[in-house]
Structure formats: C-alpha cells, structure tokens
Structure 1
Amino acid sequence: MAQGDGRRQRAFIGSFTAAGGLGVLTADVDPDSGALTVLSVVADVPDPSYLALGPGRDVLYAVSETDEGAVAAFRVHGDKPELTGPPTPTGGGPTHLSVLGGHVLTADYGSGSVSAVPVRPDGSLAPAASSVLRHTGSGPNAQRQRGPHAHQVQPDPGGRWAVSVDLGTDSVRVCALDGGTLTVRRETALRPGSGPRHLAFHPRGGHAYVLNELAPTVTVCRWDGEEGSLRPVGETPVLSGVPDGDAYPSGIAVSPDGRFVWTATRGRDTVSVLGVDASGEVLTLVAEVPCGGVWPRALALDASGRFLYAANERSGDVTWFDVDPGTGVPRRAGSIEAPAASCVVLG
C-alpha cells in the first residue's frame, strides 16, 4: 500500500518461527514519526525470513527458509495479508527474494541456487519453478565456503538483469531471464574470503555496493546496465578499529540522494554510516551507532530517507531511527516487539 493512495503506509516484518517468531507481522507506519504499531500476525508459512512486495504493492511474497525451501504469496488488503494458495517449492534454505519479469526469484542459500517461479496475473504463484540455476564454486573459508551459498538476488536498476550475490563463491552473477529461464551472462569475482552477502545500487545506477559478511567491508563496483557488467574498484571497512571474529555484516541501504550508505553488523550490534562522494565511487566510514537491539539481520529505509529500521533478530524487536539529513547519522526513536525479526519491508 503506497502512501498517496489514501491509505496509511504499512511495514511487513519477517521472522524465524523456528526461533520463536510469530510469522509475518503487519504494522502501521506513522508518516510523521516513522513509529510502528503492530496490526496483525499471519502464521501460515514457517520461517518467512525475507519478504518482498509485488509491483502493484498489493501482493506480498515470502520465502520459507526451511531445508526444503518454498515461496508463498499473500494478498494485501486491509490490515492482514491473506495467503493466496499453497507455497511453491524452491531450492533449499531460501534467504532472499525479488520480483522480475513476471517471476519471483529466490536466492537459495542451502542449495546454492537461484529459482524463478512464474507469477500469475492475479499475483499468485505457479505450483513449480520454471528455472533453477545452480551456482558452482567455493571459497577459502573452510567453515562457510565449502560450496555455493546464494544469499541475495535482485533486479538491476533498469530491470533487465537478475543479480545474484553468492557468499560461498566470493562472486556476483549477472543473469538473464529469458522465457522464464535463468542463464548466467557474467560472473564477477570479489576478494577471496570476503563472503559477499547483499548488494545495493546507487540511485543514479552507475555503481553497486556489495556488503561482505566474512570481511566487514563494502566492495564498490562500477555497474554497466547495458552490458550487464560489474567491476570492483575499491573496498571500504564498515567498522571502526580492528573487528574481532564475531562481527558479521548483514543489511545495507543507500539514501535516495546517494550521499550515504548504511550497514548493519551482527556481533558488534551497530549500524554504520558511510559517506559517499559525488562520483559515487569513494565511501568513507563516518559514524557507528548502536542498532537498538541484538543481532541486526536487516535494514530498511523509507522512501524519503527520513527513517531507518533495523530488524534485531536475537533481541526480538524492530527499532526505528530518525536520520539526520546533513550527516546521515541515525538517532534511535523507538521500537516494537517482534520475536526473531529477520527483515522489514515498507509499502
């Protein structure tokens, strides 16, 4: 539900039901303060850890991050989303999803694959994926990189390519989706052992910022949407000082004007602010603030860039922040209880 259509904005919160989460929470968003008020809970799908809205913002999609893996569609009307039908199987352990070319794409961490599930005209899902693209490769971290682990898949700014980030292979794949079939166009190697997790594009579309989980850094890449090519040009720490072994970056967000990048780090339990120069190519760490809880798994930014939200998994809450427009530094403004919170989607 978009603002401006006479209805209040909503926040949809995913969670891990296996860890005590309630399912998918729907909350009202106060337009003046960013404050959240829980309206409903839907517990139809196990471990709905990541959510995405369809292009009409009237259908909500959720992965089911189980060993088997599935994706579900919910009709959004009123204050409580309604499941449209049985979940569609995907690869194992899906951690992220997005919508592109009439399909829901899932990044299947457990099986190291990306799945494409066709979307019907009413927004519901076909009973089977039309394409499952299996990644190959490994990395030097024997504990985390024995094989591929697709962690995120999303469209590029032009909506032409599917970009998948793989923690296990230290790479980003740029894929075409032709006739429902995923094929790799290019694969970009990042620094061995960095463990890329999530990627966010600069609003001008010429750069992408890859957040690395195993080395607390952001890799800056130039992006060519015509060619579908990604080229690393630099790497910037997201933490001050020397991080210990229990610091795992998770979420990333970019301001609408492209001046700031925010990242969350589990273990350190902070949100970092990085300034972006006018070219979009140089990032500088300018501040680090507490995330408002424990184990921040994801960040979300409202469309205006005024409010930042952190889903704090282990403390079981979603905290919201007022963002200083001049410095980009977030100030804690409030929180709601959300057991085993894993992501926040605004719509």
Structure 2
Amino acid sequence: MTATTLSWLRERTTLLAGLPAFRSHVLDSSSRRRSTKPLDAMFEDEILDRESKPRSRPWRIALGTVQDGESRVGWGILLSSFDSDTGAFGNVKLGAKYGNSATFFCLHPRLPLLYSVGRSGLFPHGSLAVFEIKGSSLRFLLEASSGGSTPCHLAVDQAGTTLAVANYDDGVTSTFSLDELGIPTSKFSTRTVGEGPNKERQDGSHPHGVYFREQILHVPDLGCDKIHCWEIAGPSAERERATLASWRSLPGSGPRHMAFSPDGRHAYVVNELNSTVSALAIDQGNKCFETIHHISTIPEGETMRNTAAEIAIPPNGKFLYASNRGHDSIAIYARDSASGALSRILIAPAGGENPRHFAISPDGRWILCAHQDSDTVAALPLDPESGMIGAPVANISCPKPICVLFIA
C-alpha cells in the first residue's frame, strides 16, 4: 500500500464526519436505497484488494450508452469483462441506470472511483455522476450539474485534485475541486466564444474534450477550430486560470479529441469535420503547440460523408489510431518518435457501423471499438510490432455504445 493511500485511509473517519449527509452514504444503484456499509469501509476494502493482488485477467470494462432515438430510453452504464488471452467478452450486465445517457467516463488516478457525464432526469441539460468501483459492480455516490449543457468529455488531473468537463452545446468548460475522497466540491466555469466557417456545426464555441498535462488544461474546441491552453494554479477549482495561448487548426476542421506521446513531447488532435489528424509539437515556451503537419484519416479523393471520432496511441508509442464514422474504418499511422511526424500505413475496417469510440487494451494487444449504429462492441486484435489491426474475433451486443473504458 502506498504512503498516500495509507494516509488517506487514516484520515477517512475525520473527513467523513465533516461531510454533508448526501456525501457520507452510498446509494445502491440497483435499489436506490441507502447502503448499510459505510463509505470509508467500502473504499478501504477495494483499495486493499487492488494493491494486494496482481492484475488478473479478464479485465473489467465499462460501456457508455446513449438513448435510442425512437424509444428515448437510455441504458446508462453497462459492465462486462474482456480476456486479453482469448479475445472473449464476458456477460454484459447493468452497472448503473444513469439517466438518458452515459456519454463519457474517466477514472480517479488513485481511488476506486469512476466519473461519468451525460443527461439525467435531475439534470436534463448536463449531469456529472460519481460511482464507487466495487469488484464487478458500481455503487452510485452522487450526482451534480455538469456546469453547462450537453457534457461530452471529462478528465481528472494526475494529482487527483481537479476534474474538468467539456460541455458541448453552450461553450462551457467546468472544473471541479476534488476533496480527499475524490468527491467534487466547488466548481468554476468558463464560457468560450467564437465560430468557424461550417455554419451547420460551428455556430459557436463547442468544447469537445479536456486534457490535463501537469498544470495545463487543453480544450479542443470543435466550433472555433482551436485548442485552448490554460494554466491552472491554486488550491481549488476557483483557482486562477491564465490563458497561455490557443492553437488554431485549419478552418472548418473541428478539433475533437487528443492524444499525447508517452515522452510528452508531442500531441495529436483528431479533427472531426475535415477527417484529419494534426501532429503537434509541444512548445516549452508558451506551453501550447506548434503544428508539424496535418494528415487525412480517409483515402485521398474519398467523397462519402465522414466524420472522424476517436484517437489513441498504444503503450509502446510506435503508432497512432483514428476512427472514421461513415467510412467506418480505423486509420493506422506510424509515429516518428523524434520528429512527431505521422505516416499513414493502412486504413482498416472498424468491424461495425459508426465507430464513435475505441480503447486500446493496457497490454497494447487489442482495440475494443464501440459501434453506435451496429449496437455492438468489437474486439480487434492489434499487433504491437507492426501496428496492424485484424478482423474482429468477438462482438458483444450493446445498445448504442459510445464509450469504452478499461477499469482494471
């Protein structure tokens, strides 16, 4: 057990004694009744279990779903497992019935917590929910406003003290202070303004992602063709934000999501509207970015309607992957670790329709791809040495999957 975790456990009783009632108990997500086991005891059991055992196979995975356009019913958060040795999925079960959608997830860097954004009956414009990860189940802890409308992405900094949320519709980026239990407390919101040449999609600022790099928060803005770079300093979410700079993409490109090289020298952004990836060098002077080049995610001359979606780098840092919705494929790039430049080596079938999101397994041997329009999640084998992706070896049925997360 780490010194940080041990200190946290020693202080838990004092911390819990001072929390409001809604934060000092756990709601069982299946019955919505108060759990009889104290919050601190459940956390201690899970942390001891995590730190006393080696990582086992299969991995636990969480699946985010969005409401069906016809029935208007959302399934919330589903849980399954994935065996990296065989490529097989376990049974899918309900992890938490969370409103109409569970748009995106992230984990606390130290504590057994999963954070989710979406929409719910209590917060129809935007919700942030916190769940405790307990074995193969989730326990609902609390829900709060996301601070804006239609949250689509969130992240926690490596210190575990700040959580950021990108609210797409109204141009609001919210940051929340996290207390020692990982619970959101104070909130600070910033509204960005601007527009782009695509009048249908760029009528205003539309933050689509939030990414921490030490004390820097990077926010890709699809509506403004920018990445906002903010330095955050201070002890809480109200801490001062200094605008360092903004990186500007090609007009009408629509920056969506980002990935960073393992050595921290380069960043990459997938541009939704013009189906490109931009390779960037991190400017150590102004802490923002300098453009290396832009490269397409689809074949040259392709005329079908397409929007790029997700981007990821495997653990070895040798390659980069970006998904295409419409072309229904995953572009594979070799990455030059010295220059940061990309060279496209193949565009492979994604194994389903509308691959909105995918996740690379921690061992770098699989891509789990969420196909929103096929209602499936596919397991694609990945060769760490060549970077090649194979045909799906397994699929699971999942209603409108839009996010995949390896929990452990």
Q: Tell me if TM exceeds 0.5.
A: yes
Task: Give the TM-score taking structure 1 as reference length.
Answer: 0.93
- Residues 6-33 of structure 1, C-alpha deviations (whole Å, 9 max, x = no match): 5752111111035454111111121313
User: Aligned partners of 2:136, 2:223: CA distance in 1, in Å?
Assistant: 39
User: Aligned partners of 1:226, 1:33: CA distance in 2, in Å?
Assistant: 47
2:144 pairs with 1:87: yes
Matches within 5 A, 1:24-173: 24-41=77-94, 42-56=96-110, 58-65=112-119, 68-100=125-157, 101=159, 102-126=161-185, 130-156=187-213, 159-173=214-228
C-alpha contact 2:330 2:349 (8 A) present in aligned 1: yes
C-alpha contact 2:194 2:223 (8 A) present in aligned 1: yes
Shift of residue 88, structure 1, vs aligned partner: 3.3
C-alpha contact 1:62 1:71 (8 A) present in aligned 2: yes
Cα distance change on mapping 1:260 and 1:6 into 2, 3 Å? closer
Amino acid at match of 1:173: H
C-alpha contact 1:65 1:95 (8 A) present in aligned 2: no
User: Aligned partners of 2:79, 2:198: CA distance in 1, in Å?
Assistant: 38
C-alpha contact 1:18 1:47 (8 A) present in aligned 2: no
Cα distance change on mapping 1:6 and 1:284 into 2, 3 Å? closer
C-alpha contact 1:21 1:338 (8 A) present in aligned 2: no
Q: Of 239, 257, 261, which residue of structure 2 is paired with 1:202?
A: 261
Matches within 5 A, 1:317-332: 317-331=376-390, 332=392
Deviates more, 1:21-30 or 1:57-66: 57-66
User: Aligned partners of 1:6, 1:237: CA distance in 2, in Å?
Assistant: 38
Shift of residue 234, structure 1, vs aligned partner: 0.5
- Residues 255-283 of structure 1, C-alpha deviations (whole Å, 9 max, x = no match): 22221111111011111111112424221
Structure 2, unmatched stretches of 5+, are: 1-49
User: Aligned partners of 1:122, 1:7: CA distance in 2, in Å?
Assistant: 28
Choose between structure 1 and 2 for higher RCO, CA contacts under 8 A separated by at least 6 residues.
1
- Residues 134-180 of structure 1, C-alpha deviations (whole Å, 9 max, x = no match): 11111111111111000000112xx2211100000000011122232
Among the aligned pairs, what percent are the same residue?
Answer: 27
Bigger fraction of residues in helix: 2
2:248 pairs with 1:193: no
Task: Give the TM-score taking structure 2 as reference length.
Answer: 0.79
Q: Of 66, 90, 114, which residue of structure 2 is paired with 1:16?
A: 66
What is the SS of the residue equivalent to 2:184?
coil
Cα distance change on mapping 1:280 and 1:252 into 2, 3 Å? farther
User: Aligned partners of 2:290, 2:317: CA distance in 1, in Å?
Assistant: 19
Amino acid at match of 2:83: D
2:331 pairs with 1:272: yes
What is the SS of the residue equivalent to 1:85?
strand
What is the SS of the residue equivalent to 2:103?
coil
Bigger fraction of residues in strand: 1
Amino acid at match of 2:67: T
Shift of residue 244, structure 1, vs aligned partner: 2.4
Shift of residue 113, structure 1, vs aligned partner: 1.6
Deviates more, 1:186-195 or 1:39-48: 39-48
Structure 1, unmatched stretches of 5+, are: none
User: Aligned partners of 1:280, 1:344: CA distance in 2, in Å?
Assistant: 30
Cα distance change on mapping 1:45 and 1:55 into 2, 3 Å? farther
- Residues 71-124 of structure 1, C-alpha deviations (whole Å, 9 max, x = no match): 110000021111102333321011000002512210111111210122232223
C-alpha contact 2:146 2:174 (8 A) present in aligned 1: no
User: Aligned partners of 1:272, 1:21: CA distance in 2, in Å?
Assistant: 30
Shift of residue 339, structure 1, vs aligned partner: 0.6
C-alpha contact 1:12 1:346 (8 A) present in aligned 2: yes
C-alpha contact 1:116 1:130 (8 A) present in aligned 2: yes
Pairs aligned (count): 343
C-alpha contact 1:202 1:280 (8 A) present in aligned 2: no
Amino acid at match of 1:240: P
> What corresponds to 1:283 in structure 2?
342
Larger radius of gyration: 2
Deviates more, 1:67-76 or 1:208-217: 67-76
- Residues 294-342 of structure 1, C-alpha deviations (whole Å, 9 max, x = no match): 1111111112211111111111111111112232111122111111100
C-alpha contact 1:238 1:263 (8 A) present in aligned 2: yes
Amino acid at match of 2:297: V
2:270 pairs with 1:176: no
> What corresponds to 2:396 in structure 1?
336
